[in-house]
Chains A and B, each alone.
Chain A
Amino acid sequence: MLNQKLFFPLLIFFIFYLTSLILLACLSKQKSKEKTLSDFYLGNRNFGFIVLFLTFYATQYSGNSMIGFTAKAYRSGFWVICTVTCMIASVAGIFLLAPRAYSLSRKYNFITPIDFLNHQYKSKLLSFSALIILLYGLATYMVSNLKALGHLMEFISQGYLSFESGIIFMALILVLYESIGGLRSVAYTDVLQGIMILIGCIGICVSLYLTFGSLSDIAPRLQEINPNHYKIPSLDKQSLWISTILLCFFGIPLNPHSIQRIYASKSKQVLKKSIIAMSFMPFFTTLLVIILGLYGLYLSPDLSKAESEKITLIVIEKLINKNLLATYISVVFIGSVLAAIMSTIDSALLSFSSMLTHDAYRHVTKNQTQKHLTYVGKLLSWITISILVLFAIYSPASIWRLVIIKLEIMCQLSPAFFLAALNIKVPSKKIVKGLIVGILITLAIIFRKFSGFEIPTIYSNVHAGIWGLFCNCIVLLPFTKIVSSIYSKAFPSSNLDLPR
């Protein structure tokens, strides 16, 4: 149960926050000039630095980053520092895609990431496969964040809202403001949410420092609780470390909402500045939530795995009991967790509906007006969120696991995107072959569990997705050319047709 001292400040903050979201959405509606997909889904490609940077920032940090990383730090200790590199690596991935994606999006009016692939490969099969994978990735992402939202709402409303009603209430709010102003509305609310995340993370760590002492002060106790947290990770763990970062490097930049923010930039300069600023943000967000997890270990060392998922809220409880002044910053921090979750879901939902409308519906029903398509996009948002809310309420898997599986599958698309960004000509058939092999290997490793063998997404301390990507690249890259040239030299008379 939530600390009584927090209830009223949090209630006032919550009402202010929800009102601001709706007001910002109305403001964004006034700025809308035309009813086109470009205006609704990309804010007329006119975002300046502050809006673009903060919408990138708020979207990149999800419920998993704010709650999941803290819980991981509580359980695994300093090993989780690799997530700082993970988040920077994901920005590096965005940078490697951005230059060409941005310049082509201006020339050819791209709306979704599928347009980028379509332009490069002109393959319906590849576009369709990419559409299914990206929609799956977005849906999983939204379900995991909706689950986190439900738990958070249940906690902060002191049980007045159940897990289920918390999800339904907040889903209604976000689909409402999204329908009002599209990406412009989402980005304006992200500005507020991004500022909240930044202030919340810095504020809570300063409060912890002032109340319980520095990390150096608590280090001896942390060593006593679990000396392994300070030990150099074993080679197995380091292998997993690299694998996790690679998964983020190849997977996270392919989030459709990240690519759409590249398209939405006002200018090349604005986009460059936003990416530079983003590359430093993990030090002010991810690192701080890891430190929060370590303070959690210091304050409540005996939690079970399930209880440790709520460590963020437990630390806040302890902090307020010790330091009354920390109440207000705790309110902002809880607000920032809420904001991180909301901003991720709204962006993902908008991307989801844009791809359904632009890449699926538009092709099925040709010659529709932009106004009609925009209307359909809004309708699809409502239908999508209704279905996902049901999934979030009834699906059993944990938050972290859902996100991991999503990245494993999505990173199989990375060769297609990265080669397109490099403008390296590869036949689409090869890309599809690689994709199929990559996904099959990944799924085979993940679902071994169900065939009676032991364990799941990690094989030999490397994620299934990375194994899949490795095989994907073997099929795709010049390796096949080398094999075929060696083969043709060894057996010149052979007319066996090896893949080229």
Chain B
Amino acid sequence: MKEAKKLLPHIITLLFIFLSAPYFFKCEKIIYGFPMWGIYSLIISLLLSIYLSFAVIIFWDFLSDEKDDKSI
């Protein structure tokens, strides 16, 4: 269970990565010289950066696993 929990930050990161591609975009509008789908991808990237900032604070000690560092 603990091992599964440790995968949470990985899963969230992969989710952001998969969301960054504009699969479901139909609109080809241009905003500030960027296509709308490009803006969308940049926003997802920004959200990934913001998530990382929180993840570093929240998950660090959990991931460092300092109590259990014996190798196999």
- Flag if A99 contacts B48 (CB, 8 Å): no
Our pick among B9, B21, B30, B72 for the contact of A242 (Cβ within 8 Å) is B21
- Flag if A89 contacts B48 (CB, 8 Å): yes
- Flag if A121 contacts B22 (CB, 8 Å): no
Q: B37 to chain A: which residues have CB within 8 Å? A: 78, 232-233
Q: How many A-B residue pairs have CB under 8 A?
A: 146
A280/B20 contact (C-beta < 8 A), A100-B65, A102-B64, A422-B3 known: no
Q: A92 to chain B: which residues have CB within 8 Å? A: 13, 48, 52
Q: A157 to chain B: which residues have CB within 8 Å? A: none
Interface of A is mostly: helix
Map CB proximity to B onto A199-241 as digits: 1 under 8 Å, 0 otherwise: 0000000000000001111110011000000111101001001
- Flag if B48 contacts A238 (CB, 8 Å): no
A99/B61 contact (C-beta < 8 A), A88-B52, A92-B13 known: yes
User: Considering only CB atoms, which chain A residue lies closest to B49 in the complex?
Assistant: A279
- Flag if A268 contacts B23 (CB, 8 Å): no
- The 10 A-B residue pairs whose C-beta atoms are closest, nearest first, are A215-B33, A99-B64, A99-B63, A216-B33, A279-B52, A219-B33, A238-B21, A279-B49, A78-B38, A103-B64
- Flag if B48 contacts A103 (CB, 8 Å): no
In Å, the complex CA distance between A235 and B24 comes to 10
Our pick among B35, B52, B56 for the contact of A230 (Cβ within 8 Å) is B35
Map CB proximity to A onto B43-69 as digits: 1 under 8 Å, 0 otherwise: 011101100110111011111111011
Q: B49 to chain A: which residues have CB within 8 Å? A: 88, 279-280, 282-283
Known A81-B42, A217-B33, A230-B35; 14 more pairs at CB < 8 Å:
A85-B20, A95-B56, A99-B59, A99-B64, A215-B32, A233-B21, A242-B17, A272-B56, A276-B56, A279-B52, A280-B49, A283-B42, A418-B10, A423-B69
In Å, the complex CA distance between A154 and B26 comes to 46
Name A residues whose Cβ lies closer than 8 Å to a Cβ of B.
78, 81-82, 84-85, 88-89, 91-92, 95-96, 99-100, 102-104, 107, 119-122, 214-219, 222-223, 230-233, 235, 238, 241-242, 245-246, 249, 268, 272, 275-276, 279-280, 282-283, 287, 418, 421-428
In Å, the complex CA distance between A99 and B57 comes to 11
B5–chain A nearest beta-carbon distance, Å: 10
